[in-house]
């Protein structure tokens, strides 16, 4: 039944699939909700939707949740809401714009100056840009904010993750990545052929490949890397970016809390059960490819993209080429 849901896609990505799996799979029925007392979690994209739901669930389990936000007013509202919903006082935030790498560097520097360890890093932020736009370096904003920024943040926070080992990094991808193949050369769409949905799907494919590459480079260190996709979730971002899809599928869309379920599960499950470098959905490892033509033509594509990003994001004191 689980394999059939995967093959059919739509039911497997919807609340129908989650309901069936919740009833049938041992991952949902083997009990326990481990405490995260004393653990520190950073999560991006948490002022609404899936990230907000995940932050509340993790704070409820005792984690000190620290989230990133671009806007202070939204961050304050989110913090108050998270604290009220979770009953936890240990919710805080830092201001950073993931489409501005200097802003990411400033956030990471401040966090490392005030914290000596990080147990869980969750890359959840995502956005579909309807128009082609670039940062000051000429990088299209989808690539800057959803590929380069998570890579940079992972690298800058790696000392804190190593200090907390066993620790983990969780990257929230999208089922849309199944439609795209990773090619570092064509990852960034040109302005003449730009489509926001395609750019988003390519970035999400790159995130999964990079998570696997990080896992290979940090095998044996105690830092585990996981990527996952949450299924089709009813979020403000989907309603705005894909209104037609949202209207058509709304009756079967997951709630943000349901979409956050596997994120939370990956954050609390004992590391020996999870391994590292896998791609997850509904609490189980899933194939990275559903369509044969989306496999990388170059087996070293993920390594080359990792090396390229390490060069592009390097700054004094942070030379990652030896990793």
Active-site residue list: 200
Q: What are the φ and ψ backbone dihedral angles of 170, each rounded to 5 degrees?
A: -120, 120
CA distance 19 to 149: 34
Query: Residue 315's Cα: distance from chain center in Å?
Result: 24
Contacting residues for 319 by C-beta, under 8 A, at least 6 apart: none
Q: Strand runs (DSSP E) across 7-164, as ranges?
A: 40-43, 64-69, 91-95, 120-123
Counts for the chain of helices (H) and strands (E), in that order: 15, 8
In the chain, % helix, strand, coil (3-state, to 5) comes to 50, 15, 35
What are the contacts of 217-221 at 24+ separation with CB within 8 A? 217/306, 217/323, 218/158, 218/276, 218/323, 219/276, 219/277, 221/162, 221/165
User: How many residues are recorded in the chain?
Assistant: 323
- The side-by-side arrangement of strands in the sheet containing 167-172 is 91-95, 64-69, 40-43, 120-123, 167-172, 223-228, 278-281, 284-285
CA 133 – CA 135 distance, rounded (Å): 7
Beta strands in the chain (DSSP E): 40-43, 64-69, 91-95, 120-123, 167-172, 223-228, 278-281, 284-285
């Amino acid at each position: 039944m689980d394999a059939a849901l995967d093959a059919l896609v739509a039911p497997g990505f919807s609340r129908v699939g989650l309901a069936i799996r919740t009833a049938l799979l041992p991952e949902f029925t083997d009990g326990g909700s481990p405490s995260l007392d004393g653990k520190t979690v950073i999560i991006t994209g948490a002022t609404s939707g899936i990230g907000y739901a995940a932050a509340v669930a993790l704070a409820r389990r005792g984690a000190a949740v620290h989230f990133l936000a671009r806007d202070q007013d939204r961050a304050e509202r989110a913090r108050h809401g998270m604290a009220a919903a979770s009953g936890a006082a240990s919710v805080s935030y830092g201001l950073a714009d993931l489409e501005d790498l200097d802003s990411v560097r400033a956030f990471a520097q401040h966090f490392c100056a005030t914290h000596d360890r990080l147990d869980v890093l969750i890359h959840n932020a995502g956005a579909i840009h309807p128009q082609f736009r670039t940062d000051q370096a000429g990088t299209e904003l989808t690539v800057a904010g959803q590929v380069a920024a998570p890579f940079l943040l992972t690298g800058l926070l790696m000392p804190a993750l190593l200090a907390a080992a066993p620790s983990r990094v969780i990257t929230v991808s999208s089922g849309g990545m199944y439609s795209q193949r990773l090619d570092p050369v064509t990852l960034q769409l040109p302005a003449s052929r730009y489509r926001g949905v395609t750019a988003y799907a390519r970035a999400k494919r790159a995130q999964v490949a990079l998570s696997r590459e990080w896992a290979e480079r940090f095998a044996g260190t105690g830092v585990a890397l996981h990527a996952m996709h949450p299924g089709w979730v009813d979020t403000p971002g989907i309603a705005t970016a894909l209104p037609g899809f949202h209207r058509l599928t709304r009756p079967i869309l997951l709630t943000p809390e349901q979409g956050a379920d596997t994120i939370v599960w990956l954050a609390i499950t004992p590391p020996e059960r999870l391994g590292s470098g896998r791609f997850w959905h509904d609490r189980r490892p899933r194939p990275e490819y559903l369509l044969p033509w989306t496999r990388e033509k170059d087996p070293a594509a993920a390594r080359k993209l990792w090396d390229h990003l390490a060069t592009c994001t390097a700054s004094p004191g942070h030379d990652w080429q030896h990793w």
